[in-house]
Amino acid sequence: MIKKISIIGLGYVGSSLAAAIASSNKNQNKIIYCIENSNSYGNSIIKKFNKGKFPFESADKELVIKFKRAIKKNNNFRAFTDLNKIKESDIVVISVGFEINHKKFEKNLKNILFLIKKVSYLINPECLIFLQTTLPPGTTEQKIIPLIKKIFKKRQINKNPNIAYSYERAMPGKDYLNSVSNFWRVYSSSNLYAGNLCEKFLKTFINTNKFPSTKLKDITSCETAKVLENTYRAVNIALVDEWTKFSQKLNLNLYDIIEAIRVRPTHNNLRYPGLGVGGYCLTKDPTFAEVSAKSIFKLKDLKFPMSNLAININSKMPSFSFNWIEKITKNFKNKKTLLFGLSYKNDVGDLRFSPSIKLAKYLKKNKFKLNFFDPHVSQKELKTVKKISKYDSLVNYKIFIFSVNHSTFIKNKIIKKIPKNSLLIDLVNFFEKKKYISEFKKKNITYRALGK
């Protein structure tokens, strides 16, 4: 029976998972301890957490409300820096980031193994270690499990550890919590008992009747599924990038072309043109397979040309967008420019590897008089570019660039606030509706869109 759950790692993913678990009716009477590092960053998260304030900016009102309610209702749902809190846990969730550097893989690995080592000395023998961290395939079975077995032996525990691996598929934005609780999970385990306990645990916070979980035969397969899943998306985006360039040269509307293709069910996941790839996953996960092959399984001759090429192409996409912007604005003497959106994705404030940040740096470097407008991002996040917060100040700008399609821009009818005789550059198909065309003509707005 699951009575006590500990979650190690209170980043956005870990905190959201904690909210999903604690707000579930099936976990109302359970002890849920959440652990973060004892440093200034970790302490700031814990302080907000224990006050009932979700520790990160979020457009998901349900996540914020349910998190606050869960803290208020359950005195045993709290955050700490003391790892000893995990001692009596039935389940210990590890949800920490795994940084990757091909040349320093052993150092990257050392960090997570150090955490696993500390956990292994504290847990009770029946505890399930539930890994949610994205790892190079083979890490758990080749590195983590042998380490835990070694420590169990030192502790004179005569049994195999219970390990499960299940990666998250949560989607940041206004429906983040829903994407945790109402989405398909993939999992695997080190033994039958661990698998059954993992399945039971998933059912406490996921609607598995509607979104059944998939069990793979071994943990390496599960780690591979996560990496391949994100690599597929990265390659898909990179593929469309070259067709964007082709369409620009031939003056084709790539959105219309892709819409026509997506009618076919087998092709309905073809990506659209865009500014680039950002966030924590797609920018690094495609490199994990090569790390796994070379550093874990010693398959030195195995190459991943498409995965590596996709990473390279995607990283250069903001540069292409900037070059295109520079061409269509070269006749503008007044280059007072407002960039709409700075985060890597719509309806989040996450700036990690944001292509909009790259674009902003290109614009600043090339003499554009740039400010930004993003309700999810504070001024302190990008001190070199001034933040604009009031819509009535839009009249001071000549060039408007939409790089993120935050829903708040639609809600506030942004097109009504853009002044006459402006240049509107759309990098994310924000103004895809044909109803805007008449508005553009009425206000003499020049509209240019990437891929159109």
> For residue range 201-248, what is the model confidence (pLDDT) as tens digits?
999 999 999 999 999 999 999 999 999 999 999 999 999 999 999 999
Is residue 101 predicted with pLDDT exceeding 80? no
Boundary (domain end) residue, out of 217, 240, 275: 217
The range of the structural domain enclosing residue 279 comes to: 224-452
Contacts of 142 by beta carbon, 8 Å cutoff, 6+ apart: 296, 297
Question: N- to C-terminal Cα distance for the chain?
Answer: 57
Strand 186-189, strand 214-215: pairing? parallel
Single out the residue in 183, 217, 251 at which a domain terminates: 217
Same domain? For 387 and 323 the reply is: yes
- Averaged pLDDT for residues 87-94: 97
- Going by pLDDT thresholds of 50, 70 and 90, the confidence category of residue 139 is very high
- Both tokens of residue 312? 């390279």
Nearest alpha-carbon partner for 7 in 274, 286, 205: 205
pLDDT digits (tens, 9 = 90+) for 303-360: 999 999 999 999 999 999 999 999 999 887 778 999 999 999 999 888 999 999 999 9
* Rounded-to-integer distance, Cα 128 and Cα 171, Å: 26
Q: What is the CATH number of the domain that holds 291?
A: 3.40.50.720
On whether both 228 and 133 belong to a single domain, the answer is: no
Are 360 and 321 found together in one domain? yes
Tell me which residue of 365, 74, 196, 392 sits closest to 373, measured CA to CA.
Answer: 392
Provide mean pLDDT across the span 259-286.
93
Check if the beta carbon of residue 144 is closer than 8 Å to that of residue 113: yes
Q: What is the pLDDT of residue 103?
A: 65
Coil, strand or helix: which one is 448?
A: strand
Distances in Å between the Cα of 380 and the Cα atoms of 61, 101, 298, 351, 383 are 23, 28, 44, 12, 5
Of the two residues 90 and 375, the one the predictor is more confident about is 90
User: For residue 444, what are the contacts with CB-CB under 8 A and spacing of at least 6?
Assistant: 420, 421
Final residue belonging to a domain, choices 180, 200, 217: 217
Query: What local confidence, expressed as pLDDT, does residue 439 receive?
Result: 85
> In this structure, are strands 4-8 and 31-35 parallel, antiparallel, or unpaired?
parallel
If asked whether residues 257 and 328 sit together in one domain, one would say yes
Mean pLDDT value of segment 121-133: 97
What is the pLDDT of the chain when averaged over all its residues?
A: 93
Residue 391 and residue 375 share a domain: yes
Task: Please give the tally of structural domains in the chain.
Answer: 2
Average pLDDT over residues 26-35: 94
Same domain, 239 and 383: yes
pTM: 0.93
336 and 388 in a common domain: yes
**Rounded average pLDDT over 157-162:** 96
What size, in residues, is the chain? 452
Query: Are 177 and 248 in the same domain?
Result: no
Residue % of the chain over a pLDDT of 90? 79
Q: What is the mean pLDDT of residues 412-437?
A: 86
Strand partners, 32: 5, 77
Residues 11 and 74 in one domain: yes
Q: How far is CA 261 from the centre of its chain?
A: 27
Query: Is the per-residue pLDDT at 122 higher than 80?
Result: yes
Residue 267 pLDDT exceeds 90: yes
| pLDDT at site 384 | 83
pLDDT at residue 1, rounded to an integer: 80
pLDDT at 382: 77
Q: Are strands 186-189 and 162-167 parallel, antiparallel or unpaired?
A: antiparallel
Average pLDDT score over residue span 297-308: 94
Instruction: Give the per-residue pLDDT at 413.
Output: 80
The reply to whether 357 and 416 lie within a common domain is yes
120 and 230, same domain (yes or no): no
Q: Same domain, yes or no, for 203 and 240?
A: no
